[in-house]
Chains A and B, each alone.
Chain A
């Protein structure tokens, strides 16, 4: 429980280690278009809100299920990875100057509540929640990767004159790729720990998927 408290009380640092190293001689590429900027702004906002949510969901599950000997290290491992994702997107949001989601307080309460209540309903219920969430997030990250690799390569390199995507965009892509793989790892973990044995599985699975999709839709916009 003291872990939970420490996590809540921690404040964001400058986070330079989570960013692509700043270019030494100023910008390397021509200006992003307004549409490209708007898209990046939205990507960082929704992913930050999502990873904040994931961080707090696992925190809630840890608070509820932390006394299980065999579950404790499993949840702790997933939680640690989410803490890293969350810190990365916090650093991207503050340094690239995107606004965070206006509904952040609601995400905090909702995510912690979902994790805690889900955990109290039992191990299977919690794992079914994880399964549903990570399913939605995997697809969500894939969509972003597709757009990032298709629509950001048309900018001129100022030195060579070739059109390439900049190190900033490539860094963001790499991070999202890593995170997507880790999230699908969580999906496997959930399946391994009896997610499908929750009853009624279809209801929990579809319900939590719907909640996640709604939250993604809202966090992209507000």
Chain B
């Protein structure tokens, strides 16, 4: 889209036409609901937009050095030949948060969510059941925090600022939805909500645990997440058994009353 203006380098065009790139980015910002098999699905973090190119550079090269800060994005922009002073224009037009460090944190979440599925989809098929796949995906997603774990507290701090919390919750929901769906969730009623809520809760707890975890390969974190998910599973089974028990007793009661009525 940016190459529409001939004779200008891509980055220059982006500085003049932030509105155009805003349109390109907006599709990846919405909460994803309907997923089509017959229509192209836009990637989670569209690599063709300038913002995401800058963020990708910042994320891979500068976050391990300076953390989830505006500085990392500034350096990435400079490395890509964009004037760091114009970042405010590029990002404020295109992002709901108006906060560049938050965008970097969100980029991590989107990138890791995409990677979680791309890297593991073949391996997940071989697992026997939904619970195992759920544990597998949560573990793999947690391990994707590993490269940035030293600075991850900064990202978490950004995410829970009042102005950013709705964006981060949306992303958390998308993650829980992806994990549940890829694990093979087929719930059609209220369980859909409780499952995603429980997975999101287990994931956040495990992430907080991971910040202080020093065990090799984060073995303790994986164990912690696995235990939390076992609890979720148990809770679900209790609910289903209760529903079945209630129904059985309801129908038995109706039948008993009817048999008494027939006797007169």
Say yes or no: is B33 at the interface (Cβ < 8 Å to chain A). yes
Say yes or no: is B251 at the interface (Cβ < 8 Å to chain A). yes
Among B27, B177, B186, which residue has the most Cβ atoms of chain A within 10 A? B186
Say yes or no: is B6 at the interface (Cβ < 8 Å to chain A). no
CB neighbours (8 Å) of B185 from chain A are 94
Determine whether the beta carbon of A32 is less than 8 Å from that of B33: no
**A99 to B31 CA separation, bound complex (whole angstroms):** 12
Produce 1/0 per residue, B243-264, CB < 8 A to A. 0100110010011000000000
Say yes or no: is A166 at the interface (Cβ < 8 Å to chain B). yes
Determine whether the beta carbon of B188 is less than 8 Å from that of A90: yes
Say yes or no: is B41 at the interface (Cβ < 8 Å to chain A). yes
CB neighbours (8 Å) of B27 from chain A are 31, 34
**A90 to B191 CA separation, bound complex (whole angstroms):** 13
Which residues of A from 5 to 40 have beta carbons under 8 Å from B? 5, 8-9, 12-15, 20, 22-23, 27-32, 34, 37-38, 40
Q: Which B-chain residue is minimally distant from A38 (CB atoms)?
A: B33
Say yes or no: is B181 at the interface (Cβ < 8 Å to chain A). yes
**A97 to B248 CA separation, bound complex (whole angstroms):** 31
CB neighbours (8 Å) of A28 from chain B are 38-39
Determine whether the beta carbon of A29 is less than 8 Å from that of B40: yes
**A218 to B96 CA separation, bound complex (whole angstroms):** 28
- A22, A52, A98: the one contacting B34 at CB < 8 Å is A98
CB neighbours (8 Å) of A44 from chain B are 34
Determine whether the beta carbon of B251 is less than 8 Å from that of A29: no
Say yes or no: is B42 at the interface (Cβ < 8 Å to chain A). yes
Determine whether the beta carbon of B39 is less than 8 Å from that of A31: yes
A9-B244, A34-B27 given; A100·B189 CB < 8 A: yes
**What secondary structure prevails in chain B residues at the interface with A?**
loop
Say yes or no: is A211 at the interface (Cβ < 8 Å to chain B). no
Q: Which A-chain residue is minimally distant from B27 (CB atoms)?
A: A34
**A38 to B187 CA separation, bound complex (whole angstroms):** 20
Task: Report the minimal beta-carbon distance from A187 to chain B, rounded to whole angstroms.
Answer: 26
Which residues of B from 192 to 224 have beta carbons under 8 Å from A? 192-193
CB neighbours (8 Å) of A174 from chain B are none
CB neighbours (8 Å) of B39 from chain A are 27-32, 155, 166, 168
Which residues of A from 134 to 169 have beta carbons under 8 Å from B? 155, 158, 166-169
Determine whether the beta carbon of A34 is less than 8 Å from that of B30: yes
**A23 to B41 CA separation, bound complex (whole angstroms):** 14
Say yes or no: is A220 at the interface (Cβ < 8 Å to chain B). no
Determine whether the beta carbon of B33 is less than 8 Å from that of A98: yes
**A90 to B189 CA separation, bound complex (whole angstroms):** 9
- B30, B40, B192: the one contacting A99 at CB < 8 Å is B192
Task: Report the minimal beta-carbon distance from A115 to chain B, rounded to whole angstroms.
Answer: 13
**A44 to B33 CA separation, bound complex (whole angstroms):** 11
Say yes or no: is A121 at the interface (Cβ < 8 Å to chain B). no
Task: Report the minimal beta-carbon distance from B254 to chain A, rounded to whole angstroms.
Answer: 8
Task: Report the minimal beta-carbon distance from A104 to chain B, rounded to whole angstroms.
Answer: 4
Say yes or no: is A48 at the interface (Cβ < 8 Å to chain B). yes
Determine whether the beta carbon of B255 is less than 8 Å from that of A104: no
Say yes or no: is A105 at the interface (Cβ < 8 Å to chain B). yes
Task: Report the minimal beta-carbon distance from A214 to chain B, rounded to whole angstroms.
Answer: 20
CB neighbours (8 Å) of B247 from chain A are 5, 8-9
Determine whether the beta carbon of B30 is less than 8 Å from that of A27: no
- B36, B40, B190: the one contacting A168 at CB < 8 Å is B36
Q: Which B residues have a C-beta under 8 Å from some C-beta of A? A: 27, 30, 32-42, 177, 181, 185-190, 192-193, 244, 247-248, 251, 254-255
Those 10 A-B pairs whose CB atoms lie nearest each other, nearest first: A168-B38, A166-B38, A104-B189, A97-B35, A37-B34, A41-B33, A41-B34, A31-B40, A90-B188, A27-B40
Q: Could you list 26 examples of A-B contacts with CB < 8 Å?
A: A4-B251, A9-B244, A12-B187, A20-B37, A22-B37, A27-B37, A27-B41, A28-B39, A29-B39, A31-B41, A32-B39, A38-B33, A48-B188, A94-B186, A96-B35, A97-B35, A97-B177, A99-B192, A99-B193, A100-B190, A104-B189, A108-B189, A155-B39, A168-B36, A168-B37, A169-B38
